[in-house]
Amino acid sequence: MGDIGNGKNASVVFVLGVIMFGAVLMATTTTVFATTWDLVGTYTVNDLYNASGDPPWSPYIKNPYHSNNSSAGPYFIDAAPGHYKVDLMAIGDWAAYAYAWSGTADAGTSYYLGTTVGTSTEFDHNVGQIVLYTYDWWPWDNPPQNWSTFQLSMEAGSTPVPEPSTFILLGAGLASLGFCRRKFRK
């Protein structure tokens, strides 16, 4: 009766293990499929007024922290680490040649935001600010009618902290599996 190799006891332990594994899998994947976005803000990036960037021969070519070339300058947005999305909502006569920068003045990544209304660009932001700007090292020849309106959103729950319920469920599953194994050994 107490032998774990017994077919009946082994089957019970196996079934309980499968149930607990399924519960842990469901708890950890629930947030993956249910994506909601929190709006950070709406920004209109203009080719003339929100330009930044060094010439192509510069090491800071698309870094908006260097060579702010226009009167208003880029939008510098303080942002917590997480997963972000930029949606192109509207354009002027022509779309702005717009970018999002994720990082600091020393390092970061630039993302081209496109020119077609409805385009979405997603990226992970880890440190620094998110900057929305148009890349142009000589913006004074740009018409002010060239602009794009963007919505910046953060994925809800995308901060890099695991859900406490996942750890509780995992611990409960391991504890119950150990209890079942101990009970059937006697």
Over residues 98-139, the pLDDT tens digits come to 999 999 999 999 999 999 999 999 999 999 999 999 988 888
pLDDT tens digits along 52-62: 877 777 777 78
Average pLDDT, the chain: 79
Least confident of 62-71, 79-88, 141-150, 175-184: 175-184
Beta bridge partners of 84: 123, 154
10 has a pLDDT exceeding 70:
no
pLDDT tens digits along 153-185: 999 986 555 555 555 655 666 666 666 566 656
CA dist 110 and 9 (Å) reads 58
Q: Which residues contact 186 (CB under 8 A, 6 or more apart)?
A: 2
Residues 105, 111, 112, 113: what is their CA dihedral angle, to the nearest 10 degrees? Answer: -110
| Of 21 and 95, more confident | 95
Q: How are beta strands 120-125 and 108-112 bridged, if at all? A: unpaired
Report H helices in 34-115: none
30 has a pLDDT exceeding 60:
no
Beta bridge partners of 77: 130
Total-model pTM: 0.67
pLDDT of residue 31: 44
CA dist 113 and 82 (Å) reads 18
| Of 118 and 70, more confident | 118
CB 173 within 8 A of CB 23: yes
Residue type, 133: Y
